[in-house]
Structure 1
């Protein structure tokens, strides 16, 4: 979405991977095989291990952004008769590049969202959306009315309940607001890309390897055109539909080059190669 100069494109060839930001939002990083990993606290899923998110990973490869998730909740959700739709699953993944908190970014039309779970209660179809407005489906899924309610249980009022990107309750409240509803799905937005689902086997073949207790849970992922998002530092987050657990991910990615810019860069590189070959031929003829 952002235009880049030829020099920027050439310079970014060596930095196509996703780079986690430093500072309070990313205290613990584990980078392996081109993936950037961040982990959530273990045992903070209200309702048991089937509602416990364990980790998230991202990778930029070519013109695609890949996202992987792991935890006790399958992509299709957990059967729960009294929940809307008969199951409780993953909410939508949100991206915020604005530097604002979640609600302010939404109010300014600067929030992006990805619906990747076809069985959830999102108000849009599968895909990536810009100008997103979010809404809550937590109460319809036997969940929490607010984050304050979640943290009122002493077992969950601990470090890294939303991962290292929002490591404390104060950080979580500053970003989302503690008293309001848990906005966990897209209510509206403009579709900017399709999304392709990936199995654990697909991701393993790409070098994904979650560590520790996150390695043997439900692992799945998806990819989409990275040009659907701007470049720069971002905060991403996902809640379960019930709000029983959530995770944030802090990172930074380069903007996708415009197709015409990439073509110009390729022509420039080809021209340089041609000049070098012509120079070598002249040198050979002179000798």
Structure 2
């Protein structure tokens, strides 16, 4: 088992939402995480600074907007065991070959990553990248050295990755023996910038975690980035904290959008074709 497969009905409803609202504009899609699996020593769950309650995403034209509801401040939680005095989120990964596990998709060049948290210990600048390799920074952030160590920790209660139960031995999307949470190598440079969004900005995009999650965190924030250089279609996204003591995932789908130059060329071609048609009808 990897992550739950998107059903035909769900895929159809997503496509219809995009068509109904206009190309590349859909409503916010939410994914709820366990409320009890954020580990902070002997303090876990809702009382932990690391608890993540859920995520949401929405495509707006050529932008993908991602929101996070968590107890973890955007700048990270103060931690003596953190490399820079804090422990923040790692990088978020998007697998555009969702029929493959993460490692296979990485090998086939189908994984894209977003460094959105300036406070983390990623080796790349803020931005969007096609990812060649990933790495772990848990060793310098007092973290778990593997997924297996996290899920089997006595303080990890009802551990999930989004709505996937991590104690299910059939879970094989991520390697049990690794704790990779950062981009370490990319194919070329950045594919675009990332803009950080606060709670008010997310509200302006239609996000409402309070009404769509059974429980929410003390912190709401997110980011957006241009997807015109990404493959489009179905994907699996996942995210871990720097110490691998909390993570989440969600499945989604985005409509492919042309790059700006391609869009301009299409507009010109369309204009010429329309002009020719009009001239012919007036002849």
TM-score normalised by L of structure 1: 0.78
CA distance in 1, matches of 2:217, 2:71: 9
Partners of 2:31 and 2:162 within 8 A in 1: yes
Q: CA deviation at 1:43?
A: 1.4
Residues 55, 274 of structure 1: CA spacing in aligned structure 2 closer, same or farther, 3 A cutoff? farther
Check 1:210–1:270 CA distance in 2 against 1; reply closer, same or farther (3 A cut). farther
Of residues 250-259 and 111-120 in structure 1, the stretch that sits farther from structure 2 once superposed is 250-259
Residues 53 and 217, structure 2, Cα contact 8 Å, conserved in 1: no
CA distance in 1, matches of 2:129, 2:36: 32
Give the structure 1 partner of residue 175 of structure 2: 177
Answer yes or no: is the 8 Å Cα contact 2:76–2:88 preserved in 1.
Answer: yes
Matched, 1:38 2:49: no
CA distance, structure 1, for counterparts of residue 106 and residue 121 of structure 2: 19
Q: Take 1:38 and 1:177, find their aligned partners in 2: how far apart are those partners?
A: 22
Larger radius of gyration between Structure 1 and Structure 2: 1
- Kept in 1, the 8 Å contact 2:54–2:216? The answer is no
Residues 1:101 and 2:101 aligned together: yes
**CA drift at 1:110:** 2.6
**Partners in 2 of 1:69 and 1:11 — Cα distance?**
26
| Counterpart position of 1:241 | 242
Which region of structure 1 is more displaced relative to structure 2, 106-115 or 244-253? Answer: 106-115
Q: What is the match of residue 251 of structure 1?
A: 252
Question: Is the Cα–Cα contact under 8 Å of residues 135 and 187 in structure 1 kept in the other structure?
Answer: yes
Structure 2: distance between partners of 1:185 and 1:139: 13
- Identify the residue that residue 86 of structure 1 maps to in structure 2: 85
Aligned-pair distance for 1:122? 0.5
Contact persistence 2:107–2:132 (CA under 8 A) = no
Secondary structure at the aligned position of 1:103 is classed as: helix
Matched, 1:128 2:128: yes
Superposed CA offset, 1:1-27 (max 9, x none): xxxxxxxxx979734245xxxxxxxxx
Residue equivalent to 1:6: none
May I ask how many residue pairs the two structures share in their alignment?
254
- Counterparts in 2 of 1:86-235, with a 5 A limit? 86-98=85-97, 99-154=99-154, 156=156, 158=158, 161-164=160-163, 166-170=164-168, 173-178=171-176, 180-189=177-186, 190=188, 191-211=190-210, 212=213, 214-235=215-236
The CA deviation string for residues 132-153 of structure 1, in whole angstroms up to 9 with x for no partner, is 3110011211111111111213
Q: Distance in 2 between matches of 1:61 and 1:171?
A: 37
Flag the 1:11–1:269 CA change in 2: closer, same or farther, 3 A. farther
Report the Cα distance in structure 2 between the residues aligned to 1:171 and 1:123, rounded to whole angstroms. 32
- In the alignment, the residues of structure 2 paired with residue 12 and residue 259 of structure 1 have an alpha-carbon distance, to the nearest angstrom, of 23
Q: Extract unaligned runs of 5+ from structure 1.
A: 1-9, 19-33, 283-287
Supply the RMSD in Å over aligned alpha carbons.
Answer: 2.9
TM-score by length of 2: 0.79
Report the Cα distance in structure 1 between the residues aligned to 2:178 and 2:169, rounded to whole angstroms. 17
Q: Are the structure 2 counterparts of residues 171 and 68 from structure 1 closer, same or farther at C-alpha, using a change threshold of 3 Å?
A: farther
